[in-house]
Chain A
Amino acid sequence: MLQVKEVTVHYGKALAVDRVSLEVNEGEFVAVIGPNGAGKTTLFKTISSVKRPTSGEILFEERRINDLPPHEVAKLGIAHCPERRRLAYRMTVMENLELGAYLRKDKNAMEEDLKYVFDLFPVLKERKNQKAGTLSGGEQQMLAIGRAMMANPRLLMMDEPSVGLAPLMKERIFEAIKEIKKERNVTILISEQDASLVLPMSDRAYVMETGRIKMEGSGRELMDNDYVKITYLGL
């Protein structure tokens, strides 16, 4: 479904992503793990075309997408739940969810998806008329995921959904992600620093360090790998 081929990205002169290749097949749950500053966020931004690669190419269903503007990429069915949530903080919860469905015209299905998001995160329903900026960090993360789900995406990219959250809230968020994976017909690409949360549920995963893919394998394989155990699982 998604193929990232030898992609290199710079910020000015600084190299952020170095010849990264990665693949996500339809229906898969794929994780990218790695420390802060490894280039995960830059990679995700490049896939959604917010950032342009210096070289390499990105294909979505065999079609080259790295020259398209971001809103055209969104039209293909790629939703990007960004790092640190980045909501419209001065707008209400409901308005944020509506913006998630910005491109859609299928009113009935939108209502269904709204109901789904509210079932998944009941607190959002309670607070639907509140400004997003007044929510707690965890609630904001729920809203960011809900907003992405409102697009009814084919590929859902989640960039560090647990970052900055308390352990209990992290688990709550990952419960919801598990739900989405199980119940929705959506392919997921997720980046995460906390490997112990994400590897057990991943079909495949990549380890990214200093802009490069260091390792790849099934979630199971990486959990059994000594390097991953020591560096990322603290075992």
Chain B
Amino acid sequence: MIETLLSLTINGVLIGGLYALAALGLTIVLGVMRVINVSHGAFYTLGAYFTFLFSIMLGMNYITSFLLSALIVFAIGVVYERILIKPIRKEELNVLILTFAGAFVIEEIVKFTFGPRYRNIPPYLSGTVDIPGGSVDIQRVLSFAIAIGIVAMLFIILKFTKIGKAMRMVAEDEEVAGTLGINVDRVQMFSFGFGAMLAASAAALLSPIYLLYPSMGWDPLLKAFAIVIFGGMGSIPGTVFTGIIFGVAEVLTGYYISPTWKTVVPFLLLILIISIKPTGLFGEEE
């Protein structure tokens, strides 16, 4: 009984870490640019399909495929920001509409290129690890470990590097950041690419677990939104923590209540928290 709970919780944490990774990109873009990027899910889709392209269609090894996908989606993000977002960034509603449209365009391009049918990337590590109350796939453990590694790297970049500090300054006060000599446009372009890359990384790590299809990005987008709001907008520890909570809540609901309620319960939780504390779990009051 308690062992089942433990096993479910571990499974939840493993998947939650990947949700957190997907949500972090959204948090960073929101924090540094004050832009809500609805294309975030499309970058996720691109990450998954590039991984599919390199690993399955071109037969490269998984690590190379992963890195190439992340880099390409970073570049796509940078170009996307420079050409489409930058000219209209100050008008929030326009950005919302544009990135929404952008997401559909990317989805259609994926559909043209790879076809509408479901694709699947086989796990690159098979086997299971025993845990109390059952076992988990090694694949999930590995994906989780890489995700945590990426999150740790992100922390280090934001905390200790010059670009990281510039990003935090722009997030706090864009105008003053400029007067300190920070090239705000460039920092924002970089942040957007970085956010896209995080979405693509999460997708590359989840793709051996879930199926691929052209509209696969909407579900993680919604989850990422919820996690970002839930965790307190712009808070990185909040996002990671909430991502994991989301994963656990999903798995537990799927087992104890019903798989059909799996996606509903985390959102109900979100509504509850937001009505009690509108700034989210880790959000700072202004």
Say whether A associates with B. Answer: yes
Identify the A interface with B (CB < 8 A).
Answer: 45, 48-50, 69-71, 73-75, 79-80, 82, 86-91, 95, 98-100, 102-103, 147, 151
Q: Label chain B's interface by main secondary structure.
A: helix
Is there contact, CB below 8 Å, between B178 and A70? yes
Is there contact, CB below 8 Å, between A89 and B172? yes
Neighbour of A71 across the interface among B168, B173, B182, CB < 8 A: B182
Identify the B interface with A (CB < 8 A).
Answer: 162, 165-166, 168-169, 172-173, 175-176, 178-185, 284
Neighbour of B172 across the interface among A48, A70, A90, A100, CB < 8 A: A90
Please, which residue of chain A has its CB at the minimum distance from the CB of B186?
A: A71
Is there contact, CB below 8 Å, between A50 and B169? no
| A114–B143 CA distance with the chains assembled, in angstroms | 44
Is there contact, CB below 8 Å, between B178 and A50? yes
Supply 19 A–B pairs (Cβ within 8 Å), ascending by A: A45-B175, A70-B179, A71-B178, A71-B183, A74-B179, A79-B179, A80-B179, A82-B175, A86-B173, A87-B172, A88-B172, A88-B173, A95-B165, A98-B165, A99-B180, A100-B180, A102-B162, A102-B166, A102-B182
Residues of B within 8 A of A49 (CB): 178
Closest 3 CB pairs of A and B: A70-B178, A74-B181, A103-B181
Is there contact, CB below 8 Å, between B179 and A99? no
Residues of B within 8 A of A75 (CB): 181
| A95–B158 CA distance with the chains assembled, in angstroms | 12
Please, which residue of chain B has its CB at the minimum distance from the CB of A91?
A: B168
Residue with the greatest number of chain B CB neighbours at <10 A, chosen from A75, A88, A98, A100: A88
| A21–B182 CA distance with the chains assembled, in angstroms | 28
| A80–B180 CA distance with the chains assembled, in angstroms | 8
| A74–B181 CA distance with the chains assembled, in angstroms | 5
Instruction: Tell whether A91 pairs with B183 under 8 Å between CB atoms, given A69-B178, A70-B178, A71-B178.
Output: no
| A87–B172 CA distance with the chains assembled, in angstroms | 8
| A50–B184 CA distance with the chains assembled, in angstroms | 12
| A129–B70 CA distance with the chains assembled, in angstroms | 35
| A88–B168 CA distance with the chains assembled, in angstroms | 8
| A98–B165 CA distance with the chains assembled, in angstroms | 9
Is there contact, CB below 8 Å, between B180 and A102? yes
Residue with the greatest number of chain A CB neighbours at <10 A, chosen from B162, B172, B173, B180: B180
| A49–B162 CA distance with the chains assembled, in angstroms | 23
Further pairs besides A79-B179, A91-B172: 12, Cβ < 8 Å: A49-B178, A71-B183, A75-B181, A82-B176, A82-B179, A87-B172, A88-B168, A90-B168, A99-B169, A102-B181, A103-B181, A151-B181
